[in-house]
């Protein structure tokens, strides 16, 4: 190996080390998994060290999703029942305030760099932007159609909105990308005439996005969107199963409804309602790694920061399933509330964690 090759290897290794370091948890923090219950009015807090429910947050009806303030002081729940953001004190777990919205919210996301909360509005085709210091709506941005899910890129430069309305043509955007520095729409991507469901983002070593993986209604698989080309470049199908092994009950056109890139970027995980299974593909090559039968109607996915444990919300069995991402074995089945759907991972200061 010549000196130039050695230098290249060193910087590649350094980049990998820096990326992995960014996924580690500081010693003065703890990790909690929050499982929202869409058919109820509470959310369950799970300790991933024990896979036990350690507390329950009450008075958060029909929560679509939850995020936490960057300093860990508050949880923000998208309340579909009352069209609010419910603000919960992380220490007391009491609702301390509510932020009214223009219409029914769906998924929400926090941009730490901009110190803002972005909320997708499903029924009125808007993205509402909230300042985290004042807890006030500072902008209501019109988009092409109602938003089902929003995401933030790892470098905080862009907000990605998946639209919930069926497009009228193949050219209409079903994904719109917002520049977080201006809070204006930067560009759109079409999913070939399909409405988008959950998405997941693959990142480069510097945190910039490289690919979007997007589920679409009625399809058991996912689109691959090249970030630089701003277009779909592939569709990856789930492995075929005999009809006798599939579950057609209650999938609501959301054949697949959970997608996650692990924090260490080693794999993409996919939840198939139709197949009652979760599947994994390695990254970046998208080689199929296998599937696990978990039970009726697996939904959303989240993972611990070390990427070792995957959590699957199970509407059909009212539980959250914890999986070992290395052995593909079920670690635990955790009873939760009614209609468990969106789940998420939260890194909190020890002093605030329950």
Count, in order, helices (H) and strands (E) of the chain.
1, 28
**Is the backbone of residue 226 left (phi > 0), alpha (psi -120 to 50) or beta?**
beta
Measured between alpha carbons, how far is residue 28 from residues 20, 22, 45, 112, 305 in Å? 18, 15, 19, 19, 15
Tokens representing residue 112 in the block: 């730490």
Q: Which residues contact 252 (CB under 8 A, 6 or more apart)?
A: none
Tokens representing residue 197 in the block: 């469901």
Instruction: For residue range 86-116, list pLDDT tens digits in order.
Output: 999 999 999 999 999 999 999 999 999 999 9
Coil, strand or helix: which one is 7? helix
Instruction: For residue range 185-200, list pLDDT tens digits in order.
Output: 999 999 887 888 899 9
Tokens representing residue 154 in the block: 């790892």
Tokens representing residue 20 in the block: 């992995």
Query: Environment class of residue 1 by beta-carbon count within 10 Å: exposed (0-12), middle (13-18) or buried (19+)?
Result: exposed
Instruction: For residue range 296-337, list pLDDT tens digits in order.
Output: 889 999 999 999 999 999 998 999 999 999 999 999 999 999
Q: Which of 91, 89, 90, 87 is nearest to 77 (CA)?
A: 87
Under the banding of pLDDT at 50, 70 and 90, the label for residue 168 is confident
| Confidence (pTM) | 0.91
CA dihedral 158→164→166→168, nearest 10 degrees, is -50
């Amino acid at each position: 190996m010549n000196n130039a090759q050695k230098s290249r290897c060193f910087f590649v290794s350094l980049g990998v080390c820096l990326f992995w370091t960014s996924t580690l948890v500081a010693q003065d923090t703890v990790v909690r998994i929050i499982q929202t219950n869409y058919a109820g009015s509470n959310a369950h807090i799970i300790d991933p060290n024990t896979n036990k429910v350690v507390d329950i947050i009450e008075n958060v009806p029909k929560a679509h999703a939850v995020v936490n303030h960057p300093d860990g002081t508050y949880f923000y729940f998208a309340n579909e029942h009352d069209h609010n953001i419910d603000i919960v004190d992380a220490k007391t777990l009491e609702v301390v305030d509510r932020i009214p919205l223009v219409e029914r919210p769906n998924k929400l996301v926090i941009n730490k760099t901009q110190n803002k909360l972005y909320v997708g509005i499903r029924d009125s085709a808007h993205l509402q932007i909230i300042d985290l210091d004042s807890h006030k709506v500072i902008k209501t941005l019109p988009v092409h159609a109602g938003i089902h899910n929003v995401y933030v890129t790892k470098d905080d430069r862009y907000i990605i909105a998946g639209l919930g309305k069926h497009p009228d043509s193949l050219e209409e955007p079903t994904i719109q990308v917002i520049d977080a520095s201006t809070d204006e729409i930067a560009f759109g991507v079409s999913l070939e005439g399909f409405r988008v469901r959950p998405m997941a983002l693959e990142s480069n070593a510097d945190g910039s996005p490289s690919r979007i993986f997007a589920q679409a209604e009625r399809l058991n698989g996912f689109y691959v969107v090249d970030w630089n080309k701003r277009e779909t470049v592939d569709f990856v199908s789930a492995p075929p199963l005999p009809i006798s092994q599939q579950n057609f009950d209650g999938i609501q056109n959301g054949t697949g409804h959970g997608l996650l890139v692990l924090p260490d970027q080693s794999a993409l995980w996919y939840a198939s309602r139709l197949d009652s299974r979760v599947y994994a593909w390695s990254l970046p090559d998208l080689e199929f790694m296998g599937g696990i039968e978990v039970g009726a109607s697996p939904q959303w996915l989240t993972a611990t920061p070390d990427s070792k444990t995957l959590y699957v919300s199970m509407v059909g069995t009212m539980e959250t399933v914890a999986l070992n991402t290395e052995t593909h074995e079920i670690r635990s089945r955790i009873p939760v509330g009614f209609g468990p759907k969106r789940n998420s991972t939260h890194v909190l200061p020890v002093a605030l964690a329950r």
